[in-house]
Amino acid sequence: MMNALHSVLAAVGEGRIQGGWEYVKAAYAICWTGLALYAVSLWARRPREEPK
């Protein structure tokens, strides 16, 4: 009983969700790739002449 309580409290200290870096990596990869692609699209669409 005490052992079970101990392990639960220890898990809370480290975060109940163990690991999960694959979600973090996927999220940041999508974020950075999405922003980079949008930046490229803005560069490709840039006006050749400066607006007056």
CA distance 24 to 7: 25
- Alpha-carbon distances of 51 from 13, 17, 34, 46, 48, rounded to whole Å: 57, 53, 28, 11, 9
Rounded to a whole number of angstroms, the minimum distance from the CB of residue 29 to another protein is 10
Which 1-52 residues touch another protein, going by CB under 8 A?
12-21, 23-24, 26-28, 30-31, 34-35, 38-39, 42-43, 45-47, 49, 51-52
Residue type, 12: V
Residue numbers at the binding site for another protein (CB under 8 A): 12-21, 23-24, 26-28, 30-31, 34-35, 38-39, 42-43, 45-47, 49, 51-52
